[in-house]
Amino acid sequence: MKFANFGLQPKILQALEEKGYDTPTEIQQKTLEAFRAWKHILWQSQTGSGKTAAFVLPLLDAIDTQKREPQVIILAPTRELAVQIRDEVFELSKHLYMRSLSCFGGISKRRQIEELRKWPQIIVGTPWRVMDLIEWRFIKLQSIKYFVLDEVDRMLDMWFIDTIEDIWNRLDTIDQALTFSATLPDEVLWLIKQFIWDQYEHIQVSQTVVVDTVDHMFMQVPNHDKYEVLQALLQGNPSMKTLIFTETKMWADDLAYRLDGDGYKVDALHGDMDQRDRFRTLRRIKENEVDILVATDVAARWLNMNKVDLVINYQVPNDPESYVHRIWRTARAGLSWNAIMFVDRNEFRKLHAIERVSKVKIKQINTAGEEVERTDKPQRWKRKWWWGRNQKYRFSRSWWWQRSDRRWFRERSARSSSKTGSRFDKSERPVRAERWARPVRNERPEKAPWSSRFRARWSWSDSRPARGWSSRGWYAWRSGGRHSSSWTR
């Protein structure tokens, strides 16, 4: 079925033809059919399945371009995703007489307020900035007909739920609500049922979380050897466009700095960067000026890189669902590519959780890229000597007491095993000599031994043994303090 069969406006079909789109994807086709039936829509599909155009196309067709007032609010969790959605709206509506605006934090509100006074029909933004503009009465809600939530599960992770609920309660004239989520945890279902009750249509494109176009692999690499293995992997595939994911912002900056020092065209992207630097990185990605991008999970949900050949998870993600978004963020138009994960010995539990959530068996390879037998077999539990016993005896004595007891028992066993005695004789336990023979109190020694000077076992200012380092001890003699004259150098 073609786009022309859905009765879209000729100017929208012209923009689709200029972009090279002729046939809708599965989610776009189902969304257009459900939207024309005036139903609330809940999408669940894999990332990269064309969901942005799936809700932009019916919205552009339903907007009244003759009314110069806001009619659509689209909320996105991150600034970059808001910019990406607004760019998609701009490209598909360039032949229509209408305006759109993206509003988010990190930049001045003055320019956004000036654009709002030009009455755009579509407003795309992050929840907090949109809520600020609503409270300042720069966004009029009386004319809003359509409300879109993109990446709902990500919004819940970023604690936007209260702001979204506040915005929803202010929308009294809403006709349709459209939500998208790659995963559907219980919190997302609770949010949907609270806002639009049960009057929605659940569109699920695929039952699987990931598809077979991705070759999932992992390498068992210790943490201290990961950079050397990464270098060898990049040198063996110099023409590949690579995306590297790390767990923290510090790791992203450090890894990008080291790769840049080795001569690679690399850039970093994470949440602590200034908005100007983040937009500059996005521009370099779009213009193919970067061969390697090091990013955190903040980029996993909205990053759109074309023709990525290799995705490397430098560390195993703590959240199993993050792995799905990391690898599928770059999956476009059913292309085949590789996803490699570096796994330390202590990260096998995270690997098993990822396989359980994504329902994919990840194969193990060596540094040469050959498949090998997996080495993450679970180890059998060994019974400890204290299991089933009173735990108060486990740490009752320190280790050197136990060693001395064992030594004494060995000596006694050896002595009793001789011809002169038996193992169970009544001989008394030998008394151990003290390591240092301490002097009698109030008796000053004639001369302290050399080892005592360094250990400060003797105090030259008093007749009693000193505890710890004395003011006339080794440190005073070494540093030439005020009592150093009493020492012979």
Residue 52: pLDDT above 50? Answer: yes
Instruction: Identify whether residues 113 and 80 lie together within a single domain.
Output: yes
- Look at the block and give the residue holding tokens 């100017």: 11
Could you give the percent of the chain with pLDDT greater than 90?
Answer: 30
10 Å CB burial of residue 66 (0-12, 13-18, 19+) is exposed
Residues 58 and 115 in one domain: yes
* Residue 419: pLDDT over 50: no
**CATH label of the domain that carries residue 173:** 3.40.50.300
**Last-in-domain residue among 335, 353, 372:** 372
Query: Which pLDDT value is given to residue 261?
Result: 93
User: Which range marks the domain in which residue 294 is found?
Assistant: 214-372
Q: Give the total number of structural domains in the chain.
A: 3
Q: How confident is the model at residue 73 (pLDDT cuts 50, 70, 90)?
A: very high
Q: Calculate mean pLDDT across residues 260-281.
A: 87
Instruction: Between 29 and 212, name the one with better pLDDT.
Output: 29
Q: What is the pLDDT of residue 136?
A: 92
Position 154 scores a pLDDT of: 75
Pick the range with the lowest mean pLDDT from 11-20, 67-76, 149-158. 149-158
Check whether 374 has a pLDDT greater than 50: yes
User: What pLDDT is recorded for position 459?
Assistant: 46
Task: Kindly state whether residue 402 falls inside one of the protein's structural domains.
Answer: no
Domain shared by 228 and 332, yes or no: yes
Binned at pLDDT 50, 70 and 90, residue 447 comes out as low
In sign, the C-alpha dihedral spanning 293, 227, 340, 253 is: negative
pLDDT tier, 319 (very low <50, low <70, confident <90, very high otherwise): confident
Choose the weakest-confidence range: 43-47, 378-382, 470-474. Answer: 470-474
pLDDT of 341 over the 90 cut: yes
Residue 266: inside a domain: yes
* Residue 428 forms part of a structural domain: no
Q: Kindly tell me if the per-residue pLDDT of 312 is higher than 90.
A: yes
Looking at residue 441, what is its pLDDT? Answer: 54
- Looking at 320, 353, 372, the residue that finishes a domain is 372
Percent of all residues in the chain with a pLDDT value above 70, rounded to a whole number: 68
Which among 304, 337, 372 is the end of a domain?
372
Give the model's pLDDT for residue 43. 77
**pTM score of the predicted model:** 0.66
**Is the per-residue pLDDT at 393 higher than 60?**
no
Is a pLDDT exceeding 80 seen at residue 299? Answer: no
Looking at residue 78, its pLDDT comes to 84
Same domain, 223 and 140: no
Q: Is residue 198 located within the same domain as residue 221?
A: no
